[in-house]
């Protein structure tokens, strides 16, 4: 069975993208505070959260790798198609002119795989892709990736597997950690080792550093592949 490991990066849209009523709705919690630094801090916090929601953000990168062969591609938004290269290696970088092109290319690849592996993909990546694709009227070729939560086929979400489906809540023995923490715990090179994190995506987009986003997203996927291999060898089947 062919298994696809993937990860997405998203970036919040500017507030002016939305009309006055939408902005009032989005920032309502901040407007309840007295005018001053506290209100402005809350508005800034809400705007940072835009990247978490598919109706206030866009997908700017999807990295994907075949878990068995190591081959794959990184689809990423870029204003410069010269970001495409013929460099050797099993993973190709593919610049896309806009988000519709990026999502369309991803859904063209998806049916070739029997199953997928993600880290927190059931809670974030997959619903984000579904809702964003629906909003942009991009055909979704695999609609079964949320499926039955307690089944690793067709979707193995490592964040759920390593917490045994949140068996011990937020603070117990199987509490959830981020990917960076799990990588360090299991001796896997951290995708954040080169100084880029998901919090930097918006600024990298603003700076036009599209390739840096693509390379960071691919590091996340490569780390997820290694974590998946460890889970398969040491923990798969634990009930």
Residue 3 pLDDT: 98
Strands (E) across 71-196 are located at 72-77, 91-96, 115-118, 155-157
Domain for residue 8, yes or no?
yes
Domain for residue 239, yes or no?
no
Tokens coding 150: 């307690």
- How far apart, in whole angstroms, are the C-alpha atoms of residue 99 and residue 147? 26
pTM reported for the whole predicted model:
0.95
Q: What CATH number has the domain bearing residue 137?
A: 3.30.420.10
- How far apart, in whole angstroms, are the C-alpha atoms of residue 161 and residue 14? 35
Number of domains in the chain: 1
Question: Above 60 in pLDDT, residue 84?
Answer: no
Domain for residue 147, yes or no?
yes
Domain for residue 77, yes or no?
yes
Tokens coding 204: 């990298």
| 3-class secondary-structure state, position 71 | coil
How many other CB atoms are there within 10 angstroms of residue 169's CB atom? 11
Domain for residue 69, yes or no?
yes
Question: Is there a contact between 88 and 117 (Cβ–Cβ < 8 Å)?
Answer: no
Tokens coding 105: 């290319």
Query: Where is average pLDDT lowest: 71-75, 90-94, 128-132, 199-203?
Result: 199-203
Its domain, for residue 164, covers 3-234
Model confidence pLDDT, tens digit, residues 151-204: 999 999 999 999 999 999 989 999 999 999 999 999 999 998 888 888 899 999
| 3-class secondary-structure state, position 175 | coil
Q: Are strands 57-66 and 3-12 parallel, antiparallel or unpaired?
A: antiparallel
Instruction: Name residues whose C-beta falls within 8 Å of residue 66's C-beta, 6 or more positions apart in sequence.
Output: 2, 3, 4, 5, 72, 113
């Amino acid at each position: 069975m062919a298994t696809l490991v993937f990860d997405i990066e998203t970036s919040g849209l500017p507030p002016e993208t939305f009309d006055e009523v939408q902005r009032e709705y989005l920032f309502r919690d901040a407007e309840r505070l007295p005018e001053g630094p506290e209100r402005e801090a809350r508005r800034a916090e809400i705007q940072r959260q835009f990247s978490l929601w598919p109706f206030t953000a866009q997908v700017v990168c999807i990295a994907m790798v075949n878990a068995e062969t190591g081959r794959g591609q990184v689809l990423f938004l870029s204003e410069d198609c010269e970001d495409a290269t013929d460099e050797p290696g099993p993973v190709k970088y593919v610049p896309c002119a806009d988000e519709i092109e990026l999502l369309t290319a991803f859904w063209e690849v998806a049916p070739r795989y029997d199953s997928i592996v993600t880290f927190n993909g059931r809670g974030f990546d997959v619903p984000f892709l579904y809702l964003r694709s629906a909003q942009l009227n991009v055909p979704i070729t695999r609609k079964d990736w949320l499926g039955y939560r307690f089944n690793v086929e067709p979707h193995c979400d490592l964040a759920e597997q390593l917490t045994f489906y949140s068996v011990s809540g937020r603070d117990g023995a199987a509490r959830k950690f981020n990917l960076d923490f799990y990588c360090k715990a299991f001796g896997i090179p951290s995708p954040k080792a080169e100084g880029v994190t998901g919090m930097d995506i918006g600024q990298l987009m603003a700076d036009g550093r599209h390739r840096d986003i693509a390379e960071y997203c691919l590091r996340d996927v490569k780390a997820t592949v290694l974590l998946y291999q460890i889970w398969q060898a040491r923990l798969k089947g634990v009930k």
